[in-house]
Amino acid sequence: MKKLVSVVIPAYNEEDNLMVIIDRLENIFLNSSYDVEFIIVDDGSSDQTALILKAMTKLRQNIFYIGFSRNFGHQVALKAGLDKAKGDCVISLDADLQHPPELIIDMLRKWEEGYEVVYTRRKEDKRLPLMKRKMSSLFYHLLNVLSDVNIESGTADFRLMDKKVVDVFRDMEEYEPFIRGLVKWMGYNQYAIDYIPNERYSGSSKYNLKKMIRLGIHGVTSFSIKPLYTAVYLGFMFSLLSVLYIPYVLYAFCEGIEVDGWASLIMTVVFFGGLQLIILGIIGVYIGKMFMQTKNRPGYIISHTNLTQ
Ligand code: UDP
Ligand code: MG
């Protein structure tokens, strides 16, 4: 019996890309020794994505779609696809063809060699806007400094996971999962393949600066409580400084030295005001995450699908 490979594709307003990516993928599996199923997650698209998906399922038996009731975000869409995949291994990739589908052949080969996770590392792409490249490397740098998992630069959500890894992943009920971190955290035998990303085939990137910063904060706070220690370290540092300053203040008082204090006073007040707000904010982010997690809401809501279970 042939092994089944599930391919999971999150799609948010990708109407012009879907046909192309499925064709490219079908070609790869055409004469292979695998059966393939495609699970496309329509993340609340407002364009023709849903209609195109429905039409595609009429033409091919192995295409399944999951339509969300609204936009839940890339990571959640991926999670939904992984939840429903039935394959012996699951491959996830973006709908926009930036992840070259042909790399799947190498991934499958490594899987057959016994690796349970085959992930990919994006090589620096000079065609990407400088801002995006810088943001990306800053993101991975910060993530590694501030958190307890070590995620290599350029690791995106283009990877193969063995069924047993997916089974473990499925049981994790994390609110807003940060999948690349979780996969690294899980361990297993992992193998990395480097690739040069293609340009987006059609449409535009769904990650703006705001979403990227959100993902960054989320990535760090999902894997580490190191930021919470900032308050402790800074608190100690400034207490020490103030202890050094007190003798001078007393001396000035006793000697009757008149102090022009306005500028220094106002700067100190503003500085510490800002610092306290930042620390409060950091604590707030963690409390917010706890709050969202305790509510135990479903991670996503499926409004239409052709999957039977
Ligand atoms: N995506 C999604 N939901 C979102 C944003 C993005 O499902 O809210 C999908 C999108 O359709 C694509 C993948 O996630 O398949 C990666 O998004 P994109 O290409 O916009 O990100 P970039 O490559 O620019 O980082
Ligand atoms: Mg993209």
Residues 272 and 170 in one domain: no
Range of the domain at 263: 226-294
- Lowest-pLDDT choice from 153-162, 255-264, 295-304: 255-264
b or e along 39-70 (b: 16 or more beta carbons within 10 Å of the residue's beta carbon)?
Answer: bbbbbbbeeebbebbeebbeeeebbbbbbbee
b or e along 247-284 (b: 16 or more beta carbons within 10 Å of the residue's beta carbon)?
Answer: eeeeeeeeeeeeeeeeeeeeeeeeeeeeeeeebeebee
Residue 107 lies in a domain: yes
Residues 71 and 199 in one domain: yes
Task: Indicate which atom in ligand 1 lies nearest the CA of residue 12.
Answer: 11
Q: Which ligand is nearest to the CA of 79?
A: 1
Protein residue with least CA distance to atom 22, ligand 1: 205
Residue 90 lies in a domain: yes
pLDDT tens digits for range 36-57: 999 999 999 999 999 999 998 9
Residue 159 has pLDDT above 80, yes or no: yes
Taken in order 182, 188, 192, 197, the sign of the CA dihedral is: negative
- Lowest-pLDDT choice from 167-176, 201-210, 289-298: 201-210
pTM: 0.82
Residue 256 lies in a domain: yes
Task: Indicate which atom in ligand 1 lies nearest the CA of residue 9.
Answer: 15
Do the beta carbons of residue 85 and residue 36 sit within 8 Å?
A: no
Residue 85 is predicted with a pLDDT of 94
Residues flanking ligand 1, CB < 6 Å: 10-12, 14, 43, 71, 73-74, 77, 94-96, 98, 205-207
Residue 59 is predicted with a pLDDT of 87
Task: Indicate which atom in ligand 1 lies nearest the CA of residue 98.
Answer: 23
Residue 220 lies in a domain: no
Residues 301 and 290 in one domain: no
Residue 125 is predicted with a pLDDT of 67
Q: Once rounded to an integer, what is the mean pLDDT over residues 105-132? A: 86
Q: Which ligand is nearest to the CA of 8?
A: 1
Protein residue with least CA distance to atom 3, ligand 1: 74
Q: Which ligand is nearest to the CA of 98?
A: 2
Task: Indicate which atom in ligand 1 lies nearest the CA of residue 197.
Answer: 23
Total domains, the chain: 2
Q: Is 176 exposed, middle or buried (0-12, 13-18, 19+ CB in 10 A)?
A: middle
Residues 63 and 175 in one domain: yes
Residue 202 lies in a domain: yes
Protein residue with least CA distance to atom 23, ligand 1: 205
Query: Which has the higher per-residue pLDDT, 246 or 85?
Result: 85
Residue 211 lies in a domain: no
Interior angle at CA 189, CA 186 and CA 192, nearest 5? 100
Residues 40 and 185 in one domain: yes
For the chain, what is the mean pLDDT?
A: 87
Residue 138 lies in a domain: yes
Residues 143 and 238 in one domain: no
User: Residue 29 is part of a domain; what is its CATH number?
Assistant: 3.90.550.10
User: Residues whose CB is under 5 A from ligand 2 (ion)?
Assistant: 94, 96, 98
Residue 261 lies in a domain: yes
